[in-house]
Chains A and B, each alone.
Chain A
Amino acid sequence: MSEVFTKTMARNIFYGGTTFFFLLLLALTFDTMSVLPERDHRENITDQVILGKKVWEDNNCIGCHTLLGEGAYFAPELGNVYTRFGNSTDAIKGFIMSRPKDGIPGRRSMPQFNLSDEELSAVAEFLKWTSEVNTANWPPNIQG
């Protein structure tokens, strides 16, 4: 780089640019936080949904599944599993309950987590709530 462009100028671009764009990020963050309630329907976050998120976290579900496309890519997307399973929380509960303890020979299988009925209902309600978030029409189709 030529002598016209000095190290001081480079430094000022770094500090100035970083400050400006960090402030822009903060502004966009504030705006996002103000419009999120209309998109995430937080009025529907019941105690059961809160418990469901805890069950989801305590069993590291994200270690195999994606949820709204984030997580591991080993097992199906669950952001829309409620609709994929015919808008049925019972179907979700039934699937989780029925996993064989020792897996399925030669195939991927979800572990048997031995969840209580309360926990099963909660995680199903959590996934139902998640499926109702406005995700800009993602995923592209029912298969996730």
Chain B
Amino acid sequence: MQYQSQSVAKLYFIAAIGLFLGQILFGTVIGAQYIWGDFLFPAIPFNVARMVHTNLLIVWLLFGFMGAAYYLIPEESETELFSPMLAILMFWIFLAAGAATILAYLLVPYATLAEITMNDLLPTMGREFLEQPTITKIGIVVVALSFLFNIGMTMLKGRKTVISMIMFLGLVGLAVFFLFSFVNPHNLIEDKFWWWWVVHLWVEGVWELIMGAMLAFVLIKTTGVDREIIEKWLYVIIAMSLITGLIGMGHHYYWIGTPEYWQWWGSIFSAMEPIPFFMMVLYTFNMVNQRRREHPNKVALLWAQGTAVMAFLGAGVWGFIHTLAPVNYYTHGTQVTAAHGHMAFYGAYVMIVLAMISYAMPLLRGRVANSNKAQVVEMWSFWLMTIAMVFITLFLTAAGVLQVWLQRYTDAPMGFMAVQDKLEIFYMMREIAGIIFLIGLGTYIYSFFVGGEEEATA
């Protein structure tokens, strides 16, 4: 750590990991509810547990992105953070608002929550991933603006690099497109149309800029490859991400009342969305092969390579298999979608945040890298979580294919619930994989408490 104020990142990373654990615990709850339908009913109905699972994911990734920015921006800008105090204050506000929202989901019926938070004044609740009370959404905007102000001011007074510019652009985009969460017309079709301006333009748009910047930063630091080379790759990759991804939005507009021409635009452009992810794999492995130093933090590099590969598989390959309109006609809204969602989020966004934490956390704790012993434990957690996620994805894909076969791609379609009964074996195996993922996460958390000889060499 070169600048004292980078230490605020540590708070954000610790909160991110804590909320990650909560996310996975609730993941195992909803996984169980897929097998035993009455599990925890009516105390924690499926919709509540799922909302906790998905909202915690979003919140902890945001903590991860903010922590990454607070670490990376001062170092890139070669100056102290504009206001560490503001960063700490916003941390506590965001954590308190996030925790209060999650607790409210669990303790109060959702309709009551909508009532007491006066949702009718500006109705934004009750839409997938945007379930937060309007007051929480306003809080997110305030936190995001203060955060952007803080890192923006830091960049202004220091060196401007491609990495910091792309990171900033991605984060500005994140804040801007979140504003569409306040758009909720009475017309469901218009509501759905603009809803994707948050969801798609986040995960298949501006978040890829954030991911690209974080990956480039970790690669520069751990491989010692010339910045010029890495920055050129970064530009090309994010150019391809947005060139394919902006019109790729069309793949969400096939069947929700929007015109049929989206089937062409969406199919053609989203079929190209794997390209930037494939380039990311080439680039990451190229940079590692051309490395000019042996960084003692081996596990950070493992996460960096892992995120490239898993993002390509999850977002690229698993996205492609159901993105063409004639295929999506049958797979839309089935377990195939769930399979893709799991691996894409893990590969692209969970792993990049963990790569960043893995690189930065030892430095924040006053060492170049963790002891060999601690790194080995963390590598175990990498493989446990990653392999578990591969199996979760495979089992959900199998469930999805069978679901399509029985319910949709047939002359004698079975009813939804009858089909679900037939999928039980896959849900069972998915749950086992989920528990292994939880064990992997436990191993990951444990790795922070493994001592051993410090690696002193840089």
Residues of A within 8 A of B (CB): 1, 5-7, 10-11, 13-14, 17-18, 21-22, 24-25, 28-29, 31-33, 35-36, 39-40, 42, 45, 49-50, 53-54, 56-64, 66-77, 101-109, 111, 113, 126, 129-130, 133-136, 138-144
Contacts and interface: CB of A to CB of B under 8 A. Distances in A.
Interface in B228-249: 228-229, 231-233, 235-236, 238-239, 242-243, 246-247, 249
B231 A7 contact: yes
Given A74-B33, A108-B417, A32 B258 contact: yes
Interface in B243-261: 243, 246-247, 249-250, 253-261
Contact of A74 (B38, B46, B125, B259): B46
A66 B242 CA distance: 28
Interface string B46-71: 11101100000000000000000000
A21 B257 CA distance: 23
B157 interface: no
B36 A40 contact: no
Interface string B402-426: 0000011100011111001000000
B238 A136 contact: no
B37 A138 contact: no
B31 to A, nearest CB: 11
Interface of B: 30, 33-34, 36-38, 41-42, 45-48, 50-51, 110-111, 114-115, 119-120, 123, 125-128, 131, 162, 186-193, 228-229, 231-233, 235-236, 238-239, 242-243, 246-247, 249-250, 253-263, 265, 329-330, 332-335, 337-338, 407-409, 413-417, 420
B110 A60 contact: yes
A70 B378 CA distance: 36
Nearest to B196: A70
Contacts of A103: 37-38, 41-42
Given A36-B257, A59-B126, A68-B192, A76 B417 contact: yes
B257 A134 contact: yes
Given A71-B333, A140-B408, A106 B36 contact: yes
